[in-house]
Each structure stands twice: as C-alpha cells, then as structure tokens.
Chains A and B, each alone.
Chain A
C-alpha cells in the first residue's frame, strides 16, 4: 500500500482489518487512518469491500451471522469491538444508506426516532433538536410546514436529507455515507454534496461512492479499494493527478471497473 504522510488528528484508526463471510474474505488486511473533520472518499469497483468496511466501523456487521472480523478499529484510540454493547458506538458513528429508507411514519417522528430511543420525550426538547437537525441537513426551509406528513411522500432527495437529519439528531461524531446519491438526480446530489462539505466542520465523514467524480469533488482524501484490499490512499488532489499505483490510475481513468 502506498500512503501519504500522516495528516491531522486521527479519528478512526483501522489496523490489519480482515473480514470474511462464511470463510470467504471480503476485506483483507486493511490498515488506514481516518483524519478528524475531513471527508475520506472510498472508491473501487463492486465487491471491493467498501460497504463491508463501513459496516465494520459501526458494527452493523454484527448482525450478519456468517461474518468474522479480525484486526482492530480504534475510535479515538478505543477499540470499538471491545465493548459488549455496540449501541453507544452506533450513536457516535452514524450511517446513511444508499437508498433512503424513511420509516413509514411522519417526518417529525423520523427525525426524533433515535432521540426517543434514548428516552428523550420532552416536546420542547424534541422540537428544538429536530429543527436543528433538519437545518443542518439543509431541509428545514423546504419542510418546516410538512413535519406531520408521511415521510414517504417526500421526494427522493428530500428523503435522503431526512435520513441525514435523522442521523445528525443523534449527535454522532462520525458519519458514514454508503453511496448516498446512487438513487438521486444531479440536483439532489449537489445538495447532498453541499451538505457534506459543511458538515465536515463538525463531523468526520467517510463517503463510499461509485462515482469517482464525486470522490474528487468532495473528498479531502481518497482511498481506492480493490478486491477487498486497500490499494492506495492519499490526498484527493494528489490521487487524481498522480496516482502511484497503476491499478488506481486505470480505475480513475475508467479503463476498468
């Protein structure tokens, strides 16, 4: 693996992470650091282990019974897999899925879902937190009069920003985006990207994307995964101008994948 010199403070450190499903490896010996308050883009063809990587970071992978994980994932220096209970980890490391999945209830109830599960029920407190989360997700102005509508009625782009607001409401430190724009039109995509760029001031962001142009537009750093291995990681500006590995060059310039 080729890497640039260490950047700023490390939020998540990944050491020799290997994940297999029913004995079939999906991630092989991945070691990388995710810097604080930056956007790390992860690119790579299908089946290169990108989504598996994300699901390992917040331990959603625990729910796949055939999975086996070795290596370490350190959040602020603490191994996330030491804890018996991943619930507090998932409050710190939120995830946005490829397809927006609003729960079949109102917009408001979607935003406060995570808060209610923490036992917060005060109307005023929830109202304030919901407004803040929706504002941070650039949805408040469009939607402030529609909080009691069914979330499924929103447009695809609004639904995805609702999912972002829902995640922000839990007040995480890290947000994982798993191909968040793959189902969206270019204008909605631009809004999500704009949101991500502003969010990185307060959050650390990992963005898995199939769109190399998107990686180039928003990522501070980019990592290239291939067949479960990390091929190369570095500053986005450098990766896209002078990749050090031939395979990275081939992928970025569209010669395969």
Chain B
C-alpha cells in the first residue's frame, strides 16, 4: 500500500506522543491518589507523636526518625567505600582480567533483588557478626544495596572530568594522588553528590532489606543507640496495610504520603544540584 509520507509521519508522531503521555499517567495517578487520600491525615501531631492504640491512632514519629537513621547509616558506610572503589576503578585499575570481574560484580550487585539483600543481611550482620536486629545491621544492608548506584555514578562523574585537567596537574609537578584530590574530585563532586542522593532515595523507600535486619513491628519510642531496633516508614506502611485490622485509611495514606514526599524531595535535591552545577560548568 502506498501511503502519503506526510500522513505516515503524522501517524508515527501521534503514536510516539501518545506513548509518552501514557507513561506519565501512572506517575500522576500515584501522586494524585496518595495526596487525595493522605493529605487529610497530615498534621503536626501526625508527624511529631508516637503511635497509640496499636498504631490505629497517634503519629508516626518513630518511623520517620528510624528511616532517617537507616539512610544516614547507609550513606556513612556506602559513600566512602563506593567513592574509594570508584576512584580506584577509574584512575588506577588497568584493563586486567581481575578488574573486569570486579566491574561485572558491581553491575550484578545492582541486579540482585532487594529481598535477597535482606536475607544476606540477616545471615551476615544479624547472625554471623552478632549485631542483632539493629540500626547497624539495617544500615549496612541498605548500604550494600546502594553501593552500585554510588560506584557507578561516581565513576561517571570522575570519568567526565576532562583528561586535560589531569595532564595539566601532573605537568605542574603534582603527584597522581594530588592530581586526583585537587584536579579531579572537586570537579566530580556534583555528580558524586547526585548519585549519592539518588541512592539515599532508593534506600529510604526499600522494605525488603530492612525486614529481617532492623525493622520493628511496633516500637513507640526513639532509638537510643545503633544497636536498637527502629520502626521505618516503608515497613510501617506494610504493617499498617496488612497486619493491623481496622486502621483508618487516612493514617495509611498519610504514611505513604510522608514516604513519597521524602523520596521525591531527595530526587528534587539531586536534580537541583545537577542543574546548578551544569549551568556553572564551563568545559
């Protein structure tokens, strides 16, 4: 069949546009639904008080605090480790068999299902190292889960620093380590930061890795040390939705809204940082 190329083009264009709009629908609906059902529950009391009467009333403060503790712990562990690994892989490693295996391992780490990380954390941190179900175990498990994100984005950031900066630095008599410290890392920092924040957003929203390693079912007090259990937003949401009968749906959606806002906020900060430094970048 011979069709007018102009008509063909129109049809193709419409199909592409339609698909793109369709992608936006679920995102928009998630936000709208959660906002509509949860906004009513949000109040200062909801954010700042302990849960009461078997989580059917009161606030979600311990879950918010717990999530922040876990995320902070995960970053404290994963950022230094991931950044050092990224520096080694980008600046020092040569293309040997061993290094190709390491790179393959990192890619595969990103593909491991999160519940497997949870079981791994249970076996290694909770039982083998004897940390018990604690903030420490949960943070380490989440940290391992976000390592690939941090390593990959740090490597991209480091690799995108122009080679000429390194040559200039070395030619001025700087050592290789000084060159990395003063001519590479400062210019890779925005990218490293962006990747870290995206990792944090992911860590904040995951349920499976904290399921066996830290999350408390119902613990209406704030943690006192890193060996305490805590409640966490995603697990709290799971518990409210499946384990506790007769919960007011406002509390459920309110919890979901808080979690969603935290994760979206992280992403927004990452995007803002990237945009800010991209506009300042001059090479």
Looking at the complex, which one of A87, A104, A163 makes contact with B173 (CB distance below 8 Å)? A87
Whether the pair B169, A60 counts as a contact (CB closer than 8 A) is: no
Looking at the complex, which one of B166, B173, B187, B282 makes contact with A114 (CB distance below 8 Å)? B173
- For the complex, give the distance between the alpha carbons of A139 and B187 in Å: 26
Whether the pair B174, A97 counts as a contact (CB closer than 8 A) is: no
Interface size on A, residues (CB 8 A): 26
Chain B, residue nearest A99 (CB): B164
Whether the pair B173, A90 counts as a contact (CB closer than 8 A) is: yes
Looking at the complex, which one of A63, A87, A97, A118 makes contact with B168 (CB distance below 8 Å)? A97
A117 at the interface (CB under 8 A from B): yes
- For the complex, give the distance between the alpha carbons of A95 and B169 in Å: 11
- For the complex, give the distance between the alpha carbons of A104 and B204 in Å: 35
B171 at the interface (CB under 8 A from A): yes
Chain A, residue nearest B187 (CB): A104
- For the complex, give the distance between the alpha carbons of A118 and B162 in Å: 23
For chain B, give the interface size range. Answer: 20 to 34
Chain B, residue nearest A117 (CB): B174
Interface majority SS (helix, strand, loop, mixed), chain B? helix
Whether the pair A60, B171 counts as a contact (CB closer than 8 A) is: yes
- For the complex, give the distance between the alpha carbons of A63 and B167 in Å: 9
Pick the most buried of B168, B171, B178, B282: most chain A CB atoms within 10 A of its CB.
B171
Complex contacts, B172 vs chain A, CB 8 Å: 90-91, 94, 113-114, 117, 166-167, 170
- For the complex, give the distance between the alpha carbons of A91 and B174 in Å: 9
Complex contacts, A46 vs chain B, CB 8 Å: none
Chain B, residue nearest A91 (CB): B173
Chain A, residue nearest B95 (CB): A65
A88 at the interface (CB under 8 A from B): yes
Flag A199-227 by CB within 8 Å of B: 1 or 0 each: 00000000000000000000000000000
A194 to chain B, nearest CB (A): 23
B96 to chain A, nearest CB (A): 11
Flag B151-182 by CB within 8 Å of A: 1 or 0 each: 00000000000101111111111110010001
- For the complex, give the distance between the alpha carbons of A118 and B175 in Å: 10
Looking at the complex, which one of A58, A117, A150 makes contact with B175 (CB distance below 8 Å)? A117
B168 to chain A, nearest CB (A): 5
Pick the most buried of A60, A91, A114, A152: most chain B CB atoms within 10 A of its CB.
A114
Whether the pair A117, B182 counts as a contact (CB closer than 8 A) is: yes
- For the complex, give the distance between the alpha carbons of A167 and B173 in Å: 9
Using A87-B174, A117-B174 as known contacts, say yes or no to A103 and B167 having CB atoms under 8 A apart.
Answer: no
B205 to chain A, nearest CB (A): 35
A1 at the interface (CB under 8 A from B): no
- For the complex, give the distance between the alpha carbons of A224 and B29 in Å: 71
Flag A178-192 by CB within 8 Å of B: 1 or 0 each: 000000000000000
Chain B, residue nearest A153 (CB): B282
Flag A80-123 by CB within 8 Å of B: 1 or 0 each: 00000001101100110101010110000000011011100000
A-B contact pairs, 6 of them (CB 8 A): A91-B173, A94-B171, A103-B168, A103-B169, A117-B169, A152-B282
